[in-house]
Amino acid sequence: MSVGFENHDHTFCIQDALETADTYCSENGLQFTKTRRRVLEILLMQHKALGAYDILAHLSDEGLGAQPPVVYRALDFLVTNGFAHKIEKLNAYSACSHPGISHSPVFMICRVCENIVETKTEPLHSFLGTTAEAAGFSIEDTVIEVEGVCPSCQKSAQI
């Protein structure tokens, strides 16, 4: 599943991610509880990052009345199992666009509309790998966050 800034069938996007999570959890004997599933659904509604308190607000609107620790535990579950990522720059969470595949994400964050696109990189085969090698450093994990302006916001700025 690859998602760009261009228009796409977002309903399919949500269904696909939920199905992947369902399958992964049943194959690995993980409990995909109602709260965990709902938190993932909320993250999938838009290609944006949400803070724990935004998610909490959604849940209480729905009468699920969850407490912060419940939301943090659900987010922790989603991040640990690769269904979501934490965007450190925004102190927020975003649903993963490549669930079930081990990857090093690159997040492109539009500073105007706050949409986020996640792509993958191979750090060992990029300039990072070369730089690390020169320093004798062994990379285990990378998360790259890039800020800028997405294609549709660039277009509307020109009108």
- Using the rule CB under 5 A, give the single segment among 26-34, 66-74, 110-118, 135-143 that binds Zn ion: 110-118
Measured CA to CA, the distance from residue 120 to residue 123 in angstroms comes to 9
Q: Where are the beta strands (DSSP E) in 51-125?
A: 84-87, 92-95, 104-110, 116-121
Contact between 153 and Zn ion per CB under 5 A: yes
Stretch that binds Zn ion, among 50-58, 62-70, 105-113, 131-139 (CB under 5 A): 105-113
> Residue from 2, 4, 10, 148 that binds Zn ion (CB under 5 A)?
10
Our finding on whether 124 is near Zn ion (CB under 5 A) is no
Stretch that binds Zn ion, among 19-27, 33-41, 59-67, 108-116 (CB under 5 A): 108-116
Minimum separation from the CB atom of position 136 to Zn ion (A) = 29
Q: What's the token pair of residue 10?
A: 């977002």
Contact pick of 74, 95, 96, 108 for Zn ion (by CB under 5 A): 96
Q: What are phi and psi of 73, to 5 degrees?
A: -65, -40
CB of 153 to Zn ion, least distance (A): 3
Query: CB of residue 116 vs Zn ion: minimum separation in angstroms?
Result: 10
107, β-bridge pairs: 118, 145
Q: What is the 3-state secondary structure (H, E, C) of 52-72?
A: HHHHHHHHHHCCCCCCHHHHH
Distance (Å, whole) CA 137 – CA 35: 40
Q: Which is nearer to Zn ion, 43 or 71 (CB)?
A: 43
> CB of 100: closest distance to Zn ion in angstroms?
10
Helix 34-44 vs helix 52-61: crossing angle, to nearest 10? 110
For 125, which DSSP code? G
Q: Which residues bind Zn ion (CB under 5 A)?
A: 10, 13, 96, 98, 105, 110, 112-113, 150, 153
